[in-house]
Amino acid sequence: MRTITYSKNIFLPVTNLCRNRCQYCSFRRDLDEAQLIKRSRALHLMEEGRELGCSEALLTLGERPEEVEGFQMMLAEEGREDLLGYLIELCELAIENDLLPHTNAGLLSQEELACLQPYNASMGLMLESCARLDAHLDSPGKDPGLRLEHIACAGRLNIPFTTGILVGIGESRWDRIQSLQAIARLHAGFGHIQEVIVQPFDPKPKTAMASFPRPREEELLWTVRMARELLPGEVAVQAPANLAEPLALVEAGADDLGGISPVTRDEINPNSPWPREEELKGSLLPHELKERLPVYPRFIERGWHGRKTRELTALLAGEDGLRRKSISSRACW
């Protein structure tokens, strides 16, 4: 029997405007359809998440939306001057509502990462692949060198970090091996990788890859096994529970099943609903399912999580560094 973890979260799509045009993505929108989340909407989701026992606010957005003409007007309509400041504001709002922020904002400079660091329990960026793929032809931000440098910048800043690879977007098995090895080398240099996601491609309507076949289950499970073999034992292998059969993923070597939300849908894979917690626990027997925080226990011990999140982390974390089963209100703490 093994202990398998997951995070109970809310998914906040800050904006779906993006400079990249990945051929498999249904999250991105052109300016005429794009949205910037309103503070009132974010607060409503945070309050609902707190009431339902969530501990994580996952802030996700398109990459460098400010490079798309018209985005500054979207910010101005919300009374904001810059995206970085708005992200910090949303992180502060999450902390006020007993949710630990985890921000994935696409490529950022080291200075921008340093600005966000105090307000985040952890941060993330998918490597996706070290290979240059047709799926990324119109996506300047998917240059593997740039993404590896971003992950290295996070390491220099001691940011607990989540990254991962995609399976089935045109890469080979050898490409996946090289990608996992690159992540392992970065962790060897900085010690900051907390989890690596192995995420299967999920074809979506109205995308360039809508008719592209999804990867076979055996291909996904092979990749999970390879990830577990190539990555250090302290780095969790995560496989999303809404995109494949959870027990098969665990038996292949997955340690973590990612975020599960009772409030929001998976905005990246909107046609794949989250499993219910109790159903997931039953499906994993004899393995034990435990809720964790968006920052892993060893990074709490090191004090690497953002300084603005430390009081809340202390409240939410049990002695083992995972999610405390019951907590007092912040006012009584």
Mean pLDDT of the chain: 95
Non-local CB neighbours of 49 within 8 Å, separated by 6+ positions: 9, 10, 57, 97, 99, 261, 262, 263, 264
Return the percentage of the chain with pLDDT > 70, whole number: 98
The residue type found at 167 is V
- Residue 328 in this model has a pLDDT that exceeds 50: no
User: All domains of the chain, ordered by start, with CATH?
Assistant: 3-316 (3.20.20.70)
* Mean pLDDT within 237-253: 96
pTM for the full model? 0.95
Q: What is the C-alpha to C-alpha distance for residues 161 and 155, in angstroms, rounded to an integer?
A: 8
Q: How far is CA 272 from CA 14, 83, 135, 203, 249, in A?
A: 20, 29, 21, 11, 16
Q: What b/e readout covers 274-307, taking b as 16+ CB neighbours within 10 angstroms?
A: bbeeeebbeebeeeebebbbbbbbebbeeebbbe
With cut-offs at 50, 70 and 90, classify the pLDDT of residue 271: confident
With cut-offs at 50, 70 and 90, classify the pLDDT of residue 331: very low
- The pLDDT score that the predictor gives to residue 330 is 44
| Contacts made by residues 201-205, CB under 8 angstroms, sequence distance 24+ | 201/24, 201/166, 201/167, 201/168, 201/169, 202/243, 202/269, 202/271, 202/272, 203/24, 204/24, 204/25, 204/26, 204/269, 204/271, 205/26
Ranges 125-134, 226-235, 277-286, 308-317: which has the least confidence: 277-286
The string of DSSP codes covering 104-146 is E-SS--HHHHHHHGGG-SEEE---B-SS--GGGTT-GGG-HHH
- The pLDDT score that the predictor gives to residue 325 is 75
- Residue 95 in this model has a pLDDT that exceeds 60: yes
